[in-house]
Structure 1
Amino acid sequence: MNLIVYVSDALRTDHVGSYGARRVRTPTIDELAATGVRFDQAIAAAPWTCPSTTSMITGLYPHHHGYLHWDAALDPAIPTLFTVAAAHGYTTGSFVFDENYLFKGFPDANVAGTSETLDGVVEWLRAHRSEPFVLWFHSWATHMPYDILHAERKEWLAAKDAIITGIQSGDAAALAELREGYARSVERSSETFLAAFLEELDSLGLREETAVAFVSDHGESWGERFADKEAVKGTYHMHGATVYDEIVEVPLVVSAPGKIEPGVVRSQVSLVDLTPTLLDLAGAPLDGVDGVSLVPALEGSETEDRDAWVVATDAGRVSQLALRRPPWKLTVHVESGEEEAYRLDRDPRERTSVPDEVPGELRERVYAELEALEQPELTAEDEAAVTARLTDLGYL
């Protein structure tokens, strides 16, 4: 069975029809969900692309794989979706938003080009249609700023700065325009990019022998968590600086016509489960990682909520550690020790923190993890390099 992961960066669940959106049209995503298995509570392991994606391909949480910034080094002994699949005879390839960032230097990721258009991936699929393959397609069509290619650097950065200025102004019209632009980008991503991608699979006769995972690496916000809008300095403050559910709850759909019956999984899962699940489907199970195979859930077995860790980073170090265990979510700010706790069934928007009500077992679990936390050693030069890379990418 071929494996495809289609990532729609920064896609919020509340902007997808099959997850309850009413004002955004996403019929292609919704049809994929209707013919596959939709996971109702899929939680990203981190609130921004770098550590989250690495968790997706390793099955490890960020504080366990240690890849916390773009110039970090992933331990070569850590298996990934790509290395395991390649070892089992699969051709592997990926298309990314910027070849200077995602999967740079990752063994067997075989970055083959940009995901800003479908031209390269169509050629790749045609070239490898007759052999088993694993393909990763990471689209930035839903990542701010919208309607501008990342490759058009000057215009892209200017549009990003205009968005940040609008948020800082606190102007309601500017925020409404931003949200409308995001909604349009989601619709275009669904009905132009994903639709054409799936049509190509159909035309090549690959749909019946391919498992497609549609997912996002994290969600998005528009500065609503900051009382002082001037504190929103870049993309990092839209996703990256916080671990609220609008940032870490993501769509996840797995579709394999003729092999996976349609269904909905209500229990909580983590994106660290993605690679163990896909490799299990491919007959190459991955053990000894934080994630587990969700194949039993895909086959209709009842499953219980699994704990989901969420790890925020700042300047290459862990800054927040959160454990989401429905109905609770407890976040500890590593440096200050400040706690935020939310009873999600009563307070789904995480407005009122009630740390005094957190069950003792949950708090003990979080602090045991904190006690074992090993922060990476970064020199002043390293920190400057991390900041420069994030600035180049528009995060700061």
Structure 2
Amino acid sequence: MPHDGLVGDRHDLRQPVLPPARPGATMSLLWIVADSVRADVFGCCGGPCRTPTVDRLAEQGTLFPRAVSAAAWTLPSLAAMLTGVYPHRLGLARWEQPWPAGRETLFDRAARAGHEVASFPFDPQFLFANVPAARVAGSSQDTGRLLAWLREHRDRPFFAFVHYWWTHIPYLMWPLDTRRWRKATDVVLAALCAGPREREGVRRLYRHAVERFSESWLPRVLEAVDLDRTWVVIAADHGESWGGRSGAEPVREVFDLHGNDLADEVLRVPVLVRPPGGGPGRRIAGLVRTVDLAPTLAALLDLGALPADIDGLSLARSIREGTPAVAADAVSVRSADFVARPDAPGSPSELWTGYALTTPRERLVWDVGRDSFDFFELDPQPNGTATVVERRGGEPPAALVERLRAEARRAVVGEFDAAESARTAERLRALGYLE
């Protein structure tokens, strides 16, 4: 059922205003990115899941129910969040790539401002393996280690980034060795191809995984920090299609659940920001982007202005005052795949195979290889979300087509190393991603 605890929307400016950030503030940040969590599942977003802990955070913070991810899978999505730059401009699309040396992340900024920085990726072999500034302190699957670190740093300013994994297929909340992970994943993929009843079973499994995140894992993490001194951010890297894809193609592999698709259920994600001590519950309607998180958090934590050439726009004023979000359309990208290969892509079009442009009422999706376009109408809802109404026929607007082609002209191919690609391929093979 929809959640009734939030008050106001982006046009309601009569609610209490948070005080402006203090110069030299030393508040901490707990930034949790839950893998594969769609925008339509949390209770506070009107979803079917029982998520009272997440909902309480929304009642004390600012909810953006219509955030659009910059990419359809984890690595490029998180790169955009942490830099404020779209992934096709960074050239980051495979695990083994080093992040651009000349592009600062929020990790760099936070450390320079005096925060104790730590990250807890799902697997330190992949995410942030080439990002020394992330200061990987362990895997997010080792909850005990995460809690110990948070308790140890409770009384000093920290910047902790946690990539929560157990909402990812196979939606089981315990560590699995390679063989069992592959077996459980194959069972879920087979169920998605079997029929409506089996697909509904996968949806239930997914919803239970989201509920365990909110009611089993999250309360323990929140208890480990001083919520009067800590900003709490909950977001998702991308959504999940689990049988509800816009196309009719069968789901055969993990990447079919998100990475291959630029549909609404994959791109729309929740973003929730709770200030230290809590604040008035706000729902900011309208379109925002996950690439906006970098300048937003830099402003909230007094990390200094980010470079002028970033793509993100700060939402800090919306969070502090409840004002409308800065209007900007969202660009999202699809990469060829995450698989490490010995050969680097020869051109940006080989690496970035799809683009989507989302406006408040439309989405245009471009398949680069086919040079074909799909045009969708979006219907904004009173609760701040938007639903896909229909796929329009005929030629898409020329102005939107040119905007996507202009984005493609900004795309680059990042750095690749053949030896590192080979090592990463072996690690992926050991995890069951590759045959």
TM (normalized to structure 2)?
Answer: 0.83
1:259–1:197 distance in 2 versus 1, CA, 3 Å: closer
1:253 aligns with 272
Amino acid across the alignment from 2:273: V
Deviation at 1:176, TM superposition (A): 1.7
Amino acid across the alignment from 2:323: S
Gapped regions of structure 1 (runs ≥ 5):
none
8 A Cα contact 1:315 1:387, kept in partner: no
Amino acid across the alignment from 1:207: L
Identity between Structure 1 and Structure 2 (%): 35
| CA–CA distance in structure 2, aligned partners of residues 131 and 200 of structure 1 | 13
| CA–CA distance in structure 2, aligned partners of residues 383 and 122 of structure 1 | 33
1:334–1:388 distance in 2 versus 1, CA, 3 Å: farther
Deviation at 1:388, TM superposition (A): 6.1
- The residue correspondences of 1:192-341 to structure 2 (distance < 5 A) are 192-201=216-225, 206-225=226-245, 226-229=247-250, 232-258=251-277, 260-285=279-304, 286-288=306-308, 289-299=310-320, 300-315=322-337, 317-341=351-375
8 A Cα contact 2:69 2:332, kept in partner: yes
- In structure 1, which of residues 29, 48, 51 is the aligned counterpart of residue 54 of structure 2? 29
User: Mean Cα displacement is larger for which, 28-37 or 307-316?
Assistant: 307-316
- 1:3 paired with 2:29, answer yes
- 1:371 paired with 2:435, answer no
TM (normalized to structure 1)?
Answer: 0.91
1:160–1:41 distance in 2 versus 1, CA, 3 Å: same
| CA–CA distance in structure 1, aligned partners of residues 325 and 367 of structure 2 | 31
What's the Cα RMSD here? 2.4
| CA–CA distance in structure 1, aligned partners of residues 109 and 179 of structure 2 | 39
| CA–CA distance in structure 2, aligned partners of residues 264 and 235 of structure 1 | 33
Deviations 1:167-219 (A, max 9, x none): 23x32232121111111111111001112111222xxxx11111110111111
Amino acid across the alignment from 2:239: G
| CA–CA distance in structure 2, aligned partners of residues 247 and 150 of structure 1 | 25
Deviation at 1:149, TM superposition (A): 3.3
Gapped regions of structure 2 (runs ≥ 5):
1-26, 339-350, 381-385
Deviations 1:18-46 (A, max 9, x none): 1111x320111111111100002111110
User: Mean Cα displacement is larger for which, 27-36 or 218-227?
Assistant: 218-227
Give 3-state SS (helix, strand or coil) of 2:40's partner: helix
Give 3-state SS (helix, strand or coil) of 2:49's partner: coil
Amino acid across the alignment from 2:49: V
Deviation at 1:360, TM superposition (A): 3.2
Deviations 1:354-374 (A, max 9, x none): 352x43332221122223333
| CA–CA distance in structure 1, aligned partners of residues 199 and 212 of structure 2 | 20
Amino acid across the alignment from 1:326: P
1:228–1:75 distance in 2 versus 1, CA, 3 Å: closer
Amino acid across the alignment from 1:179: R
Deviations 1:50-85 (A, max 9, x none): 110111111111101111110112111110010111
| CA–CA distance in structure 1, aligned partners of residues 292 and 326 of structure 2 | 14
1:94–1:380 distance in 2 versus 1, CA, 3 Å: closer
Deviation at 1:8, TM superposition (A): 1.2
**Which of the pair is proportionally richer in helix?**
1
- 1:72 paired with 2:97, answer yes
1:354 aligns with 393
Give 3-state SS (helix, strand or coil) of 2:231's partner: strand
| CA–CA distance in structure 2, aligned partners of residues 85 and 332 of structure 1 | 37
2:107 aligns with 82
2:5 aligns with none
